[in-house]
Amino acid sequence: MTSTLIGRQAVVVGAGMAGLPAARVLADYFEHVLVLERDTLPVDASHRTGTPQARHTHGLLNGGQRALSDLFPDFEQDLAAAGAVAVKVGLELRLEVPGFDPFPQRDLGVTAYAMSRPLIEFIVRQRVRQLANITIREHCRAQDLVMSSAAATVSAIRFENGNGRSETLPADLVIEASGRGNLTLGFLESTGQPPPEETVIGVDIGYATAVLTIPGEARPIMTFDTPARGGLAGIMLPLERNRWIVTLVGRHDHKPPGDWDGFLAYAQQLRTPTIYQTIRGADTLGEIARFGFPASLCRHFDRIEEFPRGLLPIGDAICRFNPVHGQGMSVSAQEACLLRELLQSRAEEGDPLDGLAKTFFAKAAKLIETPWALAAVPDLAHPRTKGQRPDDLQQRLEFGEGLNRLAAKDAAVHGLFVEVLHLLKPQSVLREPDIVERVKALPAQV
């Protein structure tokens, strides 16, 4: 790919799953890219403190896998070489949803890789480190953004370095991939701008995750229950080095515990016994990790009239999805591809950074639409979920149920459904008139 330089220095805050792909994109357009990370970064695929969620199941959807392969050629080969386990989605993963235990298993031609989150991040980090004009500085905590004399323009970033000293560095563009978005919100406040509108869905989810070795046969399983019955879920996937990761998910006052006996007892309460029966004789490797996820949150930066120049939040700093659907890393990678597309088309313009954020947010909002809806609709069905329910929620839920039944009968619809779930196609493809008609024509019950 040929590219044109558009600036001297870009700074990325956070070396996580949004920051690293974004840094790779910026490397083609800025003389130098600096990634500031508060953590010590491991020299291998081990855990670090800044990403506690990484101890839990992290599925990489096909949409994310494809985006990362676009940014890092041969990415899938890297995953396989590092021990990630190829899983034929639809065929090898046993999906259990009410009415289908299991959902019909078919080869849909979609292969996903299962591995730990630290392994995915490690592979991406290694690829980023190979680029000569990117520097990753560890132990550097970004503190705030510096405004230039031109109103509402970011011109530099202030951070505390590993020696506890404050440093200020100039930046033509700062990408905030800190997961939280506090720098962006702080800057908006300091310039007298209102914060972005937010959509919040209070799900109050609890995760408990064990890493196991399982003697004998095991296979990937996902078990879901209806919101009316509490919505307990269990996810069991293979990991590199012959291990398995099992995550149990509950809500409100029924969250999974952090001790092995309690974990097994909770697994027995899942709607089907498959996960319990597979793991009861397993050996645990390390402690059971727990995580509380209070709410999904989407910040509507696209609705801000004048967004500061030289600043762009990305990844979780824009939208944090209910993790059960495994979307966050994939959307982050797709946003990095979107950024590349915009920089590519603007590089020849007089001022490529002028209005970049506005265009980015408008297109990112489109990207986010499908994953947000896929998670929000079932979440809002749970009676204790807090959030604005659409007037047609019941219709949407019934349509989703009907779609499940149609997909079970028809391999082509099943394939389309999986492509949507994996963020390869927008949800609108499932609203085409012929599909809607066929869903309507189904008998009321299986």
Ligand X SMILES: Cc1cc2nc3c(=O)[nH]c(=O)nc-3n(C[C@H](O)[C@H](O)[C@H](O)COP(=O)(O)OP(=O)(O)OC[C@H]3O[C@@H](n4cnc5c(N)ncnc54)[C@H](O)[C@@H]3O)c2cc1C
Residue of 9, 178, 184, 274 interacting with ligand X (CB under 6 A): 178
Could you say whether residue 18 binds ligand X (CB under 6 A)? yes
How far is 189 from 290, CA to CA, in rounded Å?
Answer: 34
How far is 400 from 378, CA to CA, in rounded Å?
Answer: 9
Q: How many residues make up the chain in this entry?
A: 446
Residue of 56, 309, 340, 346 interacting with ligand X (CB under 6 A): 56
Residue of 68, 289, 329, 420 interacting with ligand X (CB under 6 A): 329
User: According to the 3-state scheme, what is the secondary structure of 95-113?
Assistant: EEECCECCCCCCCCCEEEE
Residue of 9, 62, 116, 327 interacting with ligand X (CB under 6 A): 327
Size of residue set near ligand X by CB under 6 A: 36
Q: Which is nearer to ligand X, 6 or 314 (CB)?
A: 314
> Tokens at residue 161, please?
């370095």
State in angstroms the smallest separation of the CB of 214 from ligand X.
Answer: 20
Q: Which of residues 238-297 bind ligand X (CB under 6 A)?
A: 291, 293
Lay out the site mask for ligand X across 383-412 (x = CB under 6 A, - = otherwise). Answer: ------------------------------
> Tokens at residue 327, please?
């979307």
State in angstroms the smallest separation of the CB of 436 from ligand X.
Answer: 29
Q: Which is nearer to ligand X, 300 or 405 (CB)?
A: 300
* Residue range at the interface with ligand X (CB under 6 A); choices 84-92, 221-229, 323-331, 438-446: 323-331
Q: What count of other Cβ atoms lies within 10 Å of the Cβ of residue 440?
A: 9
Q: Which is nearer to ligand X, 372 or 399 (CB)?
A: 372
How far is 285 from 245, CA to CA, in rounded Å?
Answer: 10
Lay out the site mask for ligand X across 139-158 (x = CB under 6 A, - = otherwise). Answer: --xx----------------
How far is 333 from 426, CA to CA, in rounded Å?
Answer: 16
State in angstroms the smallest separation of the CB of 267 from ligand X.
Answer: 18
Q: Which of residues 76-105 bind ligand X (CB under 6 A)?
A: none
Farthest CA pair distance, the chain: 68
State in angstroms the smallest separation of the CB of 76 from ligand X.
Answer: 16
* Residue range at the interface with ligand X (CB under 6 A); choices 72-80, 131-139, 221-229, 327-335: 327-335
Could you say whether residue 211 binds ligand X (CB under 6 A)? no
Could you say whether residue 316 binds ligand X (CB under 6 A)? yes
* Residue range at the interface with ligand X (CB under 6 A); choices 9-17, 255-263, 380-388, 404-412: 9-17
* Residue range at the interface with ligand X (CB under 6 A); choices 99-107, 176-184, 258-266, 358-366: 176-184
Q: Which is nearer to ligand X, 116 or 346 (CB)?
A: 116
Residue of 3, 7, 47, 50 interacting with ligand X (CB under 6 A): 50
State in angstroms the smallest separation of the CB of 109 from ligand X.
Answer: 21
In DSSP terms, 293 is beta-bridged to 205
User: According to the 3-state scheme, what is the secondary structure of 173-241?
Assistant: EEEECCCCCHHHHHHHHHCCCCCCEEEEEEEEEEEEEEEEECCCCCCCEEEECCHHHCCCEEEEEEECC
State in angstroms the smallest separation of the CB of 21 from ligand X.
Answer: 9
Residue of 3, 7, 32, 39 interacting with ligand X (CB under 6 A): 39
Closest CA to 114 of 70, 60, 56: 60
Provide DSSP, 294-327.
EEEEEEEGGG-SSPPBTEEE-GGGTEE--GGG--
State in angstroms the smallest separation of the CB of 6 from ligand X.
Answer: 23
> Tokens at residue 24, please?
């790779």
Q: What count of other Cβ atoms lies within 10 Å of the Cβ of residue 306?
A: 12
- The set of residues, in sequence order, having a beta carbon less than 8 Å from that of 93 and lying 6+ positions away, is 87, 219, 220, 221, 222
How far is 123 from 135, CA to CA, in rounded Å?
Answer: 16
Residue of 113, 207, 244, 360 interacting with ligand X (CB under 6 A): 207
In DSSP terms, 234 is beta-bridged to 223, 248
Could you say whether residue 332 binds ligand X (CB under 6 A)? yes
* Residue range at the interface with ligand X (CB under 6 A); choices 12-20, 108-116, 125-133, 427-435: 12-20
State in angstroms the smallest separation of the CB of 31 from ligand X.
Answer: 22
State in angstroms the smallest separation of the CB of 53 from ligand X.
Answer: 3
Yes or no: say if 370 and 420 are a contact pair by the CB < 8 Å rule: yes
- The set of residues, in sequence order, having a beta carbon less than 8 Å from that of 290 and lying 6+ positions away, is 206, 207, 208, 209, 255, 256, 257, 258
**Residues that bind ligand X in the complex, under the rule CB under 6 A:** 13-19, 36-39, 50-51, 53, 56-59, 141-142, 177-179, 207, 291, 293, 315-317, 323, 326-330, 332
